[in-house]
Homo-oligomer: A and B are copies of this chain.
Amino acid sequence: MSLTAEFLEQVRQASEKAFPFVERCGVRTLKVEPGYCHLRMPFDGNQNHIGSMYAGALFTLAELPGGVVYLTSFDTRRFFPIVKSLNIRFRRPAMGDIEVEARLAADEVARISAQAEAEGKCDYSWTLELKDATGETVAIAESLYQLRRIGQ
């Protein structure tokens, strides 16, 4: 799949305003490449009652890459993804903006697509690290997705 710079920019912009819950958080998509994205959740507006970033904002930052990477990896006319589970471990308080990077390798994309084509669905997972501005990991998220063939 060859993606134009215009398409990647469309995905980047759309991902920040995909639906109201996301827009309200103020999340920013810093970079989108085929199979890759880099997102930032702002600290402002997402603090909890003790002044660190709320767990729900961290969850949201961990979950959104699933959709962004889907858009730049899979044939969206043939397949759609669902999130089956997400396990997030909180390692330390998040006291500023938090970023996440996610990547799905091209051979993994090919494997998932082939299995979803043949069997109608294919599970896939990744582990993402949510990091603060100093590079410290504040949370680790293991996500399990399933790619489904449309019409299945």
Binding site for B on A (CB under 8 A): 18-22, 24-25, 45-50, 54-57, 59-60, 63, 67, 80, 82-90
Contacts and interface: CB of A to CB of B under 8 A. Distances in A.
Q: How many copies does the complex hold?
A: 2
A19 B48 CA distance: 6
Contact of A83 (B46, B55, B60): B55
Nearest to A20: B45
A75 to B, nearest CB: 17
Contact of A85 (B18, B49, B89): B89
B49 A18 contact: yes
B21 A46 contact: yes
B90 A48 contact: no
A19 B59 contact: no
A80 B60 CA distance: 24
A21 B54 contact: yes
